Amino acid sequence: MTILYLTYFFDPDLSAGSFRNTPFVDELARQLTPADTIHVITTQPNRYSSFSMSAPAREERSPADGARVWVERVSVPAHGGGMASQIWSFISYFQAVHRLTHNHRYDRVMASSSRLFTAFLGARIARRQHSTLSLDIRDLFRESILDVLTNRPLKRLLDPVLSAVERYTFGQTQHINLVSAGFQPYFKSYPQANYSFFTNGIDDEFLAAFCPTSDSKQPNSFRTILYAGNIGEGQGLHTIIPQAARLLGMNYRFVVIGDGGARHKLETAVTADGVTNVELHPPVSRHELRDAYAQADYLFVHLNDLDAFRRVLPSKLFEYGATDKPILAGVSGYAAQFIRTHLDNTLLFAPGNAAELIRLVNQTPYYRQTRPHFVQQFQRRPIMADMARHWLSPAPVFQQTASVQA
């Protein structure tokens, strides 16, 4: 069997897509035989312009007893997170994938997509080759982009175009995995597909035990609230962190590690509010990130209160849940439901509500605790192993796995 696997992000890039797709491809290869081939087409690392790294254009990463894995990385134009530059980058990827697949024949096409167009690309190739198509959907791009856009003429222009792309893509897919069970109602229009719900999970780098410790805060010192990840419109950090930092005062310090299309809004808001207890740092390696988690007092996650973000399940929650630190979560919808069910020692507040966040921090005694049941249930490796078995089965059927029960 020959599989084409499309993912815009792959090792060694810093992104949730890379952290998910790399171990999944490795697991697919382990469950296949040396007679099988997986052709991965991805991009050169480009997630953050402020964190550069190199990777070979062509790489073989095959397990000793499994399928041959052939990775090809396409160079795409640099982008700063803006929509126009991202579209141009994807057009380059789109053209390169068609060129690299033109003379190949695939039995199955698999694509992992957060921004719809990688899934659309997979659908185009699968239809051309009459191949079975499986999609891993990590975000609802159409709903997200229309919620975030404030330009009404542009929204009216994009809506029918994106709707047509969705119908073409999802309407011919045999199997769809939804990374969040909150996406399920959105896909009722596509009953021909079999569905599964394999979530993100905790990577091996974060599985080392975080032992519960006593509160080591010294008199006259401050507590650190850490956010690490993408700084985009969806996270809406500029709507909450400056105000929260001002209200909490100098006994607390926000540390933000990351980059993204809305970083400049956060920088502008911090300056406009005149707060001095907010630090912004560029993206770091996962090893450095784990050290930052260990040094923090609280771990922070936030999503804008828009319809699209009420369906998502932030991958950051899995990293945070592997620590012993209290989590400050400004989320609603399915993510809030998931937190109430699975994540102890989390202070849950309404998105954008700085006053509620401050009240919870001030009124809740500080403590640390590990989450052994969460860690046991949501390790990335077994989740990816189950998902690989499911995708490789001759006729995947609807399955709601234990990893996503909420």
pLDDT tens-digit profile, the chain (406 residues): 999 999 999 999 989 999 999 999 999 999 999 999 999 999 999 877 666 788 999 999 988 899 999 999 999 987 655 667 778 889 999 999 999 999 999 999 999 999 899 999 999 999 999 999 999 999 999 999 898 888 899 999 999 999 999 999 999 999 999 999 999 999 999 999 999 999 999 999 998 755 555 565 655 589 999 999 999 999 999 999 999 999 999 999 999 999 998 999 999 999 999 999 999 999 999 999 999 999 999 999 999 988 889 999 999 999 999 999 999 999 999 999 999 999 999 999 999 999 999 999 999 999 999 999 999 999 999 999 999 999 998 754 444 443 444 4
Q: Which CATH number fits domain 2-201+379-404: 3.40.50.2300, 3.40.640.10, 3.40.50.2000, 3.40.190.10?
A: 3.40.50.2000
What is the C-alpha separation between 316 and 201, in angstroms, rounded?
A: 9
Domain boundaries, the chain: 2-201+379-404, 204-376
Alpha carbon of residue 12 to chain centroid: 15
pLDDT for position 218: 54
Q: Do domains 2-201+379-404 and 204-376 have the same CATH topology?
A: yes
CA angle 41, 42, 44 (to 5 degrees): 135
Alpha-carbon distance of 403 to 180, in angstroms, equals 11
Adjacency order of strands within the sheet including 2-7: 58-60, 68-74, 37-43, 2-7, 108-113, 132-137, 175-178, 194-196
CA dihedral 127, 130, 136, 141 (to 10 degrees): 0
CB contact set of 53 (below 8 Å; sequence gap of 6+): 12, 13, 45
Contact between 48 and 257 (Cβ < 8 Å): no
pLDDT (0 to 100) of residue 370: 95
| Measured distance CA(402)–CA(259) in Å, rounded | 34
| pLDDT (0 to 100) of residue 178 | 98
Amino acid 207: pLDDT? 87
In this prediction, residue 317 carries a pLDDT of 98
Residue 14: predicted pLDDT: 87
pLDDT in the model for residue 219: 54
Topology of the domain covering 204-376: Rossmann fold (3.40.50)
Q: What is the pLDDT of residues 191-248, one digit of tens each?
A: 999 999 999 999 999 987 555 555 656 555 899 999 999 999 999 999 999 999 999 9
pLDDT score recorded for residue 131: 96
Q: In the prediction, which pLDDT does 399 show? A: 45
Question: What are the distances in angstroms from CA 108 to CA 6, 104, 126, 192, 393?
Answer: 11, 12, 7, 18, 12
Radius of gyration of the chain (CA): 21
Q: What is the pLDDT of residue 216?
A: 58
